[in-house]
A and B are shown apart, each in its own frame.
Chain A
């Protein structure tokens, strides 16, 4: 419409009816909280991913006397060809053919020494103790191990010990999921409060411009024109508030990211935490920076949609 070009000539004076001094700080505060909620949701999602893919999905097999040959009575028909194999060789043969494993790793003597070092202070070899073979299994899916594989392993090596961490995995996943849900609920509440603030501000603006709106409406201004004028102003103020809130949330979020480095999946977290802030900044997940760009845009749309709905409903009172 032509008036869009000459919008200061329609008498709505929206900079007075919708002043920024209240809306901008309120929206900025809401954006700050939204940034924290989203970062919380993102962090818990990453944590859940790490727990699922990491230690929680690992299964430990302990094979006592690993180099002992299997007695013929323990051989299954499927393993008839392994009659002369040791226990460990038989287990590795079964694991190699299994399709449910992502990978497996037999711990070396050195790794076992490192594991027991805090208790023994010297190599386990020097104690001449019968140390079981330890194999770490990484599953393609969440634990537990399938009954078939478990049964096969136990039939082959009856004294094998299978340590499944599915109890912890389930608990940790449930914790991560509930953290994520809480963060999303917080985000929804923050968005609702922001929308309510915008709606109240719009209503106040409409009341202030009531007389002018009625005259414009009677001269043939469409609902779309009037709502566009208000929505444009609200969306602008909301995006300014969003930008300010995002900028203020950056230092806090970077600091929280820094604190959470030990829990990250990055194997170089120690190097990262000792590196300069600039290096840390450039290695921060890009999603975090995406958030700062996305929040003002989301605010713009929340402002636009809320105002448009409020103005349309308000205009319904005019014939």
Chain B
């Protein structure tokens, strides 16, 4: 369960990015996060990923109140969250394989499982032949697929995706949505930021609209 109670976020004390945002998403929910460019969608996702602290208000992630949580609790929570950044944030000096393996290795999963899971996900993203290459040699679409693979390899309880379909073709978008729906069926809560109205119409779900720092919730279209 994800809950925001009166969450506000100010930038440099005078620009209000989020203004008294209230939100409740039950475990296993699927939401689109929409809004004009620069409105703060990525910031909201970073708040939910516990990379930022709100100026005021309470944030509960996966049933854990986070405002006064210990650093070790935050660290364990982050291990249960998958995130796809808009700019991918792959580690440049790690191979595709090692980038994808990071969340599992950080959770102390045994190396055999890491190898097996990695092989499966690499096959799914169609990059098994590039597993020993470095991110800078990949195209934008390939980097995005690696970022998606890294976000889902450990089967997170919460998946945050910031425009994950930007660099993908229609076929890859369809496959990605199938994967997200499969994860959602397994109980994973998914919040996906996008500009793509066609995609939202194609895959109807609860829509969170961020505008002028306020969040509006529309039920499934």
Interface residues, chain A, with chain B CB atoms under 8 Å away: 1-3, 5-6, 9-11, 13, 212, 215-223, 225, 319
Contact = CB atoms under 8 A, between A and B. Distances in A.
B115 to A, nearest CB: 11
B75 A13 contact: no
Given A9-B105, A216-B106, A221-B75, A2 B91 contact: no
A220 B106 contact: yes
Given A215-B89, A222-B72, A319-B51, A9 B98 contact: yes
Size category of the B interface is 20 to 34
Contacts, number: 71
A13 B94 CA distance: 10
6 interchain residue pairs of minimum CB distance: A220-B79, A11-B91, A220-B78, A11-B94, A9-B98, A222-B75
A222 B73 CA distance: 10
Nearest to B79: A220
B174 interface: no
A217 B46 CA distance: 13
A1 B106 contact: yes
Given A218-B83, A319-B52, A6 B111 contact: yes
Contacts of A319: 50-53, 74
A221 B71 contact: no
Contacts of A225: 106
B122 to A, nearest CB: 15
Contacts of A215: 89, 91
Nearest to B97: A9
Contacts of A13: 93
B110 A2 contact: yes
B103 interface: yes
Given A219-B102, A219-B106, A5 B111 contact: yes
Contact of A220 (B92, B94, B103, B114): B103
27 contacts: A2-B110, A3-B105, A3-B106, A6-B111, A9-B94, A9-B98, A9-B101, A10-B94, A11-B92, A11-B94, A11-B99, A13-B93, A216-B102, A217-B78, A218-B51, A219-B79, A219-B106, A219-B150, A220-B75, A220-B76, A220-B79, A220-B106, A221-B75, A222-B71, A222-B75, A319-B50, A319-B51
A220 B91 CA distance: 15
Contacts of B103: 219-220
Most buried by B among A6, A220, A319: A220
A220 B102 CA distance: 9
Contacts of A223: 71, 75
A318 to B, nearest CB: 8
Most buried by B among A1, A10, A212: A10
A82 B147 CA distance: 106
A2 B105 contact: yes
A223 B73 CA distance: 12
A212 B53 CA distance: 21
B202 interface: no
A66 to B, nearest CB: 83
Interface in B43-76: 49-53, 71-72, 74-76
Contacts of B107: 2, 220
Contacts of B109: 2
B108 interface: yes
Contact of B98 (A1, A11, A222): A11
Contacts of A3: 105-106
A138 to B, nearest CB: 64
A206 to B, nearest CB: 16
Contact of B78 (A5, A10, A218): A218
Contacts of A5: 111
Contacts of B78: 217-220
Given A212-B91, A215-B91, A319-B50, A221 B74 contact: no
Q: Which of A6, A215, A223 has the most CB of B within 10 A?
A: A215
B136 to A, nearest CB: 13
B195 to A, nearest CB: 24
Contacts of A9: 94, 98, 101-102, 105
A129 to B, nearest CB: 89
Contacts of B150: 219
B156 to A, nearest CB: 10
Contacts of A1: 105-106, 108
B146 to A, nearest CB: 13
Nearest to B83: A218
Contacts of A6: 105, 111
Contacts of A217: 78
Contacts of A10: 94, 102, 105
Contacts of A2: 104-111, 114
Contacts of A212: 91, 93
Contacts of B94: 9-11
Contacts of B72: 222
B56 to A, nearest CB: 15
